[in-house]
Structure 1
Amino acid sequence: MDYIRIVFRIIGGLCLFLYGMKVMSDGVQQAAGDRMQRVLNFMTKNRFVGVLTGMAVTALVQSSSAVSVMLVSFVNAGLLTLTQAIGVIMGANIGTTTTAWIVSLIGFQIDISALALPAIGIGFFMGAAKWKYQDLGGAFLGFGFLFLGLQFLTNALPAVNPESMEFIRKISDLGFLSVIIGMAIGTAVTLLMHSSAATITLVITLAFREVINFEISAAMILGANIGTTIDAIMAAIGTKTAAKQTALVHVLFNVVGSIIALIFFRPLVLLVNFLVPGSPEGAGIATHLAMFHTVFNILGTLVFLPFVHQFAALVSFLIKDKDGKQGMPKPYRLEYQHSVRSTPDLNIIRAEKEIRDMTGLASSMFAGVSKVLSGFREEGDKTAAVDALVTEMKDKEEYADEMRVELTRFLLECTRQQLSHQSEEKVYQLLRIISDLEDMTDDCYSVSLLLDRSVKKNLRFKNKEMEALAPYVAQVEDFLSFVKGHVGRSITEEQAVFAEQLENAVDKSRDKLRKLGRKRIEAGEDVKTELLFIDVVRRIEKVGDYCYNIAESLMRS
């Protein structure tokens, strides 16, 4: 009965520790929002800075698995490249060692409840209040639960010793085979718990209570580094080739690094014993294990860091790029990523990238219309050019319809998760932008149909009209270019004023062109041709209206 009680106390402490880690990680990610992606994107241009960034972000969210899932999501969305992600993965493995240091330096030295309970209280009140730091309440709350779980865990084994556990004693007496078995156990436990931090915390606790010795504990830590790759693998299921390659980088780096550490296990242990004074037994074993975890990951990073590009080439060879440059794959699909380490905010960031692609699609459609319109000032048959335009616009407009349906479904799935107030506002802003973009593509297609009618019914626009139309089209192109450059982030007051000026300029040009069409009708020109010209002007102006609608949405973000 004592053993059953101890097992349940260990499981309860671990579950509370894992829950605290998830709440803290989610709170940090929600508080950071898309700023985390921008930091990662800005700080990963250089492999060395990428390592430092991975260390900092992982130490902040206290989970290398969460960072690896984040990286897979960002690479899948095209926000980061494979090469950029490699440095961050290496840094994440170093950053995750902070958990071992927290456990070894705090977990067994002070009364953890002195930290846990105040953190839970602060986190609760911060999360309950409606203010801009509400999401940080989750981080504090998770921090408190993490330490509370750690306290339960450290108090769960007061009377256990190696002599009373014959199975563990036998495993400890098998020489190097004991190390291999320990590594396998560490891998299996981490695969089950989806958290190397929880495994390492359990290992350090068992070692501190003298249930397992230093060598088996160190081997289990090597196994935990292998098992932690499971979340990256799961996050890469159903993703693009680059995301799968990123997950493979994480697997190869951790597995190969752990195998190399296993080969040089004895020298590595001697190095740790040299760096940490005192015996790796009794009270000092926790610090020795934290140092082992740190040294192992730092040495692994130093070995692999010079070969980042070769590493990228290797995984690109192992996982061939099947996505290719196929343009618009049909039908368009965007699957919501459910993962134990994923948060709705990561999926919102992914949706923003897809919406930027949709903006690029709308921009390319208007550019196609603009090109054909510029040719209307020239003599000659326009049938072939207009037919090609109509076919292109039809295909792209249908694809834009698919994007609207899938992105709307995707974002509504995000709203079913627990979102911060800021993230909810972001989702509804994105839904408005998607609607405006799809309407924009409809009008581009409508312009192509008007031009098709012009050619088929021989309703030829005058050169003077087309020359007057050219600067008007250029104004809308500039507006669309402005929107394309700012989708996904807020615009400043100065940029908002600039957008309003663009909208006013487009409206003035529209009024001028309408007057030109009406005067030509009054002068006796063909009514059908002039009305068709006014329709073209109206459709182009609506594209400008949608640009301003999007700009207004970005003002409120």
Structure 2
Amino acid sequence: MIGTLFEILGSLGMFLFGMKVMSEALQKLSGEKLRAIMRTMTGNRFAGVGSGFLVTCLVQSSSASTVMMVSFVNAGLLTVVEAIGMIMGANLGTTTTFWIVSFLGFKFSLSSIALPIIGVAMPLIFSRKSTLRDTGEFLIGFGILFLGLMFLKDAVPDIRNNPDQVAFIQNFTGRGLLSVLFFFAFGTVLTIVVQSSSAAGAITITAAANGWIDFPTAAAIILGENVGTTITANLAAMGANTNAKRAAFAHFIFNIVGVIWAIIFFVPLTRLTDYLVPGDALNPTAIPFHMAAFHSGFNILNTALLIGFVPLLGKIVTRVIKDRKATSDHVKYENTFLPQTGELNLAEAEEDVQKMNKLTHDLVSGFVELYQSPTEKMGDRVKALKQLEKDSDRMAIETTDYLLRCSAGSVSDASRAKISSMLRVIAELEDMCDRGYRLVLLAERRYRKKRELPAETMNQVRQFGEIVLRFVDFTSTCLKRGVQAADMETAYQLENFIDQFRKNLRKESIARMRTSGDLVKAEMLYIDILNNMEAIGNHSLNILQALRHHD
């Protein structure tokens, strides 16, 4: 008995490892495309369902896709309502795993499928071309997954000819609603324990095919697995912002509402499945297809029934999970124990990079405001701008740490190059924010020390600030859409114009110092301002060069 248990655990471990390798390879092959899908295919709830379905089919992991959706909400790239539609689609997408396991796992000889696939994949993983290597990894993961399923089938005893061995299970069957609730709870706990609805489904299909459970029992367990899989998204949202928590909670509500009506109509639903699916559910080769059809049918019906209530569901989760006063506006990176989806979650870091660039804009514009319009409350304004500089430092540290963790995982060569580029961009942005805050301190010192300058310098500083802000805004645009060749020409023109502007103003300042020794300290402060503003332009150019090199 103990030996059989370890065989089952080992087989399950191989299945999960194959699923992990396959999912990560798929993410590397299509990560950028999946991120684009999630950004563009959420215009309405129906498009959201379609994109959620497509992403989950490609990734073959509802846990990975729902965690990714929660992270996109956390980063502000998706609204709660958009995420709800995508989560509905993810529930549909995860049913494809049941069909793959049922069709390939119980229709063909697994060894005749798995070993040739691994054999074909081996030469590919040694290729210099990243696409071929990733394809090889996907095929190897696919092969290992089915080897694990084969071992799982062999490890679970076929007891159709020895029904006495399942007498303890029969004690919980045949009791109507109580039996359904018991096995529903079992499926929920099983999915929470293995942290994979695909693995839980494979265990359920194997147990049913070997006679341990009948179709109605398996159907009740499947309903429990649909609820258990929501735990992953809710764990992902624990350290995230309010909207991410709402999206994860909406996932739970959607599935639990579906389970409630499915349990109420459990007998008609299972009978309808029996009627529509060919073959006898008592046949070990037919029951996996009955289970896959039940899983798909439940999720299709649940989506069809509730898709019209997506806005209402959004209002409910908003009312239940109240807004909290945010300590900062940046993305929180938590939950390193959750499914690794760094290939897809780079969008979180991209969002913080854009926010850091906005901080630079706010600091420079705040400096210009202080320089030209000093007030009695300058101390409060300086304090607020200092907080922006602290935010940039914290965001730089946390985003850098997050990107390093992503790069340490399984990511494509293209994403690894992108991470390297983003790390350089973050360093440049942090320096830009530091320069912006230095300008704020220089403006404060000018009034505190009463450094008087000619009136024309006020207009010059304003003009210089507008030019620098134009470059910062241009950098922000390029961060969002990428850098083209024409953008670099514009960037060099802006940087040269800033350099020349600073040289001209510096010459004028030196000339004034020669004619009036009383202005030396004020002019030195003025030159310091010019140097810091030019440095921000240099950092902006460095950012665009880093982005262009990556592209």
TM-score in terms of structure 1 length? 0.91
**Residue by residue, what CA displacement relative to the aligned partner does 1:283-311 show, whole Å, maximum 9, x if unpaired?**
32222211111110000011110011110
The change in CA–CA distance for 1:8 and 1:125 in structure 2 (over 3 A counts) is same
Partner of 2:129: 131
Instruction: Tell me what 2:79 maps to.
Output: 81
Moved over 4 A (4+): 3-6, 332-335, 385-389, 522-525
> How does 1:176-191 map onto structure 2 within 5 Å?
176-191=177-192
2-side partners of 1:122 and 1:361: how far apart?
A: 51
Which residue of structure 2 aligns with residue 160 of structure 1?
159
CA distance, structure 2, for counterparts of residue 223 and residue 12 of structure 1: 24
Are 1:232 and 2:233 matched, yes or no? yes
Distance 2:480 2:268 in 1: 50
SS in 2 for 1:33: helix
2:422 is the counterpart of 1:430: yes
Task: Provide, for residues 221-261 of structure 1, a one-character-per-residue CA deviation record: whole Å limited to 9, x for no partner.
Answer: 11111111221122122221111112111111112211210
Residues in 1 aligned to 2:336 and 2:278: alpha-carbon distance in whole angstroms: 45
Asked whether 1:548 is paired with 2:541, we answer: yes
From the superposition, tell whether residues 213 and 421 of structure 1 become closer, same or farther in structure 2 (CA, over 3 Å). same
Residue number in structure 2 paired with 1:446: 438
Go from structure 1 to structure 2 and tell me whether the alpha carbon gap of 1:387 and 1:39 turns closer, same or farther (over 3 Å shift): same
Within a 5 Å distance, the mapping from 1:163-312 to structure 2 comes to 163-165=163-165, 166-282=167-283, 283-312=285-314
- Distance in 2 of aligned mates of 1:32 and 1:242: 27
Amino acid in structure 2 at the alignment position of 1:457: K
Q: How does 1:500-511 map to 2 (within 5 A)?
A: 500-511=492-503
Kindly report the root-mean-square deviation, in angstroms, between the aligned alpha carbons of the 2 structures.
2.5
> Are residues 456 and 287 of structure 1, via their aligned partners in 2, closer, same or farther at CA, if it must alter by over 3 Å?
closer
Shift of the 537–186 alpha-carbon distance from structure 1 to 2, 3 Å rule, reads same
What's the offset of the Cα at 1:429?
2.4
The aligned residue for residue 47 of structure 2 is 49
CA contact (8 A) 1:74 1:350 kept: yes
Shifted more, 170-179 versus 246-255: the winner is 170-179
* Residue aligning to 2:145: 146
CA contact (8 A) 1:397 1:445 kept: yes
Tell me, in whole angstroms, the C-alpha distance in 2 between the residues paired with 1:38 and 1:337.
Answer: 24
Kept in 2, the 8 Å contact 1:17–1:147? The answer is yes
Task: Provide closer, same or farther for how the CA distance between residues 524 and 4 of structure 1 changes in structure 2, counting only shifts above 3 A.
Answer: closer
> Does the CA-based 8 Å contact 2:331-2:352 persist in structure 1?
no
Q: Is the contact made by 1:404 and 1:438 (CA closer than 8 Å) also made in structure 2?
A: yes
Instruction: Trace 1:355-374 onto structure 2 (pairs within 5 A).
Output: 355-374=353-372
Q: Distance in 1 between matches of 2:216 and 2:114?
A: 31
Amino acid at match of 1:98: T
Shift of 1:344: 3.3
For 1:391 and 1:209, locate their aligned partners in 2 and report how far apart those are by CA, in whole Å. 69
CA distance in 1 between counterparts of 2:220 and 2:422 reads 48
User: How far apart, in 1, do the equivalents of 2:334 and 2:187 lie?
Assistant: 31
Q: Give the 3-state SS of the residue equivalent to 1:80 in structure 2.
A: coil
By how many angstroms is 1:92 displaced? 0.7
Displacement after TM superposition at 1:5 (Å): 4.8
Question: Gaps (5+ residues) in structure 2?
Answer: none
CA distance in 1, matches of 2:79, 2:144: 35
Deviation (angstroms), 1:416? 4.3
Aligned counterpart in structure 2 of residue 474 of structure 1, from 440, 460, 466 = 466
**Maintained 8 Å contact 2:241/2:332:** no
Letter of the structure 2 residue corresponding to residue 321 of structure 1:
D
Q: What letter matches 2:222 in structure 1?
A: I
Identity of matched residues, %: 39
SS in 2 for 1:384: coil
Which of residues 485, 488, 510 is equivalent to 1:496?
488
**CA offset at residue 158 of structure 1?**
6.1
Hey, what's the Cα distance between the residues in 2 that align with 1:319 and 1:516? 59
Report if aligned partners of 2:70, 2:236 keep a CA contact under 8 Å in 1: yes
Against the structure 1 CA distance between its residues 334 and 309, is the aligned structure 2 distance closer, same or farther, given a 3 Å change threshold?
Answer: closer
Q: CA deviation at 1:385?
A: 6.5
Secondary structure of 1:345's aligned partner: coil
- Counterpart residue identity of residue 254, structure 1: N
Please tell me whether residue 25 in structure 1 is matched to residue 23 in structure 2.
Answer: yes
1:480 shift after superposition: 0.2
Letter in 2 for 1:443: R
Q: Deviations over 1:509-540 (max 9, x none)?
A: 22222222233334547333333322221111
Q: How many residues align?
A: 545
The answer as to whether partners of 2:16 and 2:199 remain within 8 angstroms in 1 is: yes
Q: Determine which of 516, 520, 531 is the counterpart of 1:527.
A: 520
Q: State the distance in 1 between where 2:16 and 2:267 align.
A: 32
Residue 97 (1) aligns with residue 99 (2): no
* Corresponding letter in the other structure for 1:151: M
Q: How many angstroms apart in 1 are the aligned matches of 2:245 and 2:120? A: 40
1:346 is displaced (CA, Å) by 4.8
TM-score, scaled relative to structure 2: 0.92
Where structure 1 has 5 or more consecutive residues not aligned to the other structure, the ranges are 376-381
* 2:110 counterpart (106, 109, 112): 112
Residue of structure 1 in register with 2:395 after alignment: 403
Compare 87-96 and 409-418 and name the one that shifted more.
409-418
CA-CA distance at 1:168 after TM superposition:
2.6
CA distance in 2 between counterparts of 1:425 and 1:337 reads 24
